[in-house]
Amino acid sequence: MKLNKKTVISLIPKAVLLILLLVIINTQLTESVVTGTFEKGLVFSILALGIFISFRILDIPDLSVDGTFTLGVAVSVMQAFNGDPIKGILLSIVAGAIAGSVTGILITKLNVQPILAGIITMTALYSINLKIMDRPNISLYKKDTIFTIAQKYFGDYYKLAAAGIVLVIAAVLLFWFLKTQAGMSLRATGDNEYMVRASSINSDRMKIMGFAIANALVSLSGAMYAQYSSAGDSNSGTGMLVVGLASIIIGEIFFSKHSILCGILAAIFGAVAYRFVLAFAMNHGMDSNYTKLFSACIVALAISLPAIKKYITKAYKRVCSDK
């Protein structure tokens, strides 16, 4: 899809709506909370992009995400702890891609059910992550991270800048990739596997590649998050799939899911909006222990909405015909 006038115009009202929502939320929050929330939103946008690939493009919910997020955290925090934060970020991408390929191979070559394959990888990664970190949590207090490096160049908004730059690079690369022949084959694999095989595309290889890219992004997000919060925790990946799904679902309220550009924008805006909704809820006294419950409810509600609508229509019909 080209960025023609019509598409841009159709995006404007949604963007305005989103900004309006954000402003309403913002009036309730202090400036430092707003900046912090925004920064976190950008970091978790990368997670949402990864989940967008497995959940929306390949149409398979990938549970290995909970493990690969922590994998990114572990790799990144260890490298930063040893004084090389940039290497940590880059290595985490590779590690995530390898872990994703394992899930992909389990699903395609070894015929494991997709959900189970994800659980297997996630469980295996739990040990691997602990092995990498050597202890359950590590602090990067007084250590260099990519954010402290950015501080030298970007002044006050260095965290926003660092997170933003990484996100933009990831999003642009992903957008470009999905427009290439390989990317188009990947999209078609999630859309219609029969057609893909009949067009001489190796659907198994495409799926493995898809999971590799998805988990590379998730792991990158984890790596960024660890250096952002200057700490690594072996439990930080718990519930990340649901958080990512909630982000995508929120984003899709504003952007249709029918084009690649919209899908990517939905993941990014959704992740940011999700953080603001969360900050708003916590500002109004929600216990921070409830954040995962909160995202679980959002996802359950959004996915069950069509079914709920059907029940309501049915009930409505019954009442009307009784009259």
Partner 1 sequence: MLKLENINITFNKNTANERKALQHIDLDVADGDFVTVIGSNGAGKSTLMNVISGSYEADTGKIFLDGKNITHLKEHQRARTIGRLFQDPLRGTAPNMTIEENLGLAYSRGKRRSLTIGIRKKDVSVFRERLKELDLGLEDRMKMPVGLLSGGQRQALTLLMATIVTPKLLLLDEHTAALDPKTAEKVMRITDKIVKENALTTLMITHNISNAIEYGNKTIVMSQGKLLLTIEGEQRANMTVEKLMKLYSDTAEDELSDKMILQE
Interacting span for partner 1 (CB under 8 A) from 173-181, 212-220, 235-243, 314-322: 173-181
In angstroms, rounded to a whole number, what is the distance separating the alpha carbons of residues 123 and 113? Answer: 15
By CB under 8 A, residue 304 contacts partner 1: no
The tokens describing 205, both together, are 């290889």
In angstroms, rounded to a whole number, what is the distance separating the alpha carbons of residues 190 and 52? Answer: 12
By CB under 8 A, residue 108 contacts partner 1: no
In angstroms, rounded to a whole number, what is the distance separating the alpha carbons of residues 64 and 218? Answer: 10
Task: Using CB under 8 A, pick the residue from 27, 111, 181, 321 that binds partner 1.
Answer: 181
By CB under 8 A, residue 192 contacts partner 1: yes
**Least spacing, CB of residue 196 vs partner 1, in Å:** 8
By CB under 8 A, residue 184 contacts partner 1: yes
By CB under 8 A, residue 198 contacts partner 1: yes
In angstroms, rounded to a whole number, what is the distance separating the alpha carbons of residues 122 and 63? Answer: 7
The dihedral over CA atoms of 35, 39, 44, 48, expressed in degrees to the nearest 10, equals 80
Q: Report how many residues bind partner 1 under the rule CB under 8 A.
A: 24
In angstroms, rounded to a whole number, what is the distance separating the alpha carbons of residues 21 and 297? Answer: 20
Nearer to partner 1, 177 or 290 (CB): 177
Nearer to partner 1, 68 or 203 (CB): 203
Binding mask 229-258 for partner 1 (x = CB under 8 A): -----------------------------x
By CB under 8 A, residue 202 contacts partner 1: yes
Angle, to 10 degrees, between the axis of helix 260-283 and the axis of helix 240-254? 110
By CB under 8 A, residue 187 contacts partner 1: yes
Nearer to partner 1, 200 or 289 (CB): 200
Q: Please, what sign has the CA dihedral across residues 290, 276, 143, 169?
A: positive
Contact 182, 208 (CB under 8 A): no
By CB under 8 A, residue 179 contacts partner 1: yes
By CB under 8 A, residue 199 contacts partner 1: yes
In angstroms, rounded to a whole number, what is the distance separating the alpha carbons of residues 147 and 85? Answer: 9
Q: Which residues bind partner 1 (CB under 8 A)?
A: 1, 177, 179-185, 187-188, 191-192, 194-203, 258
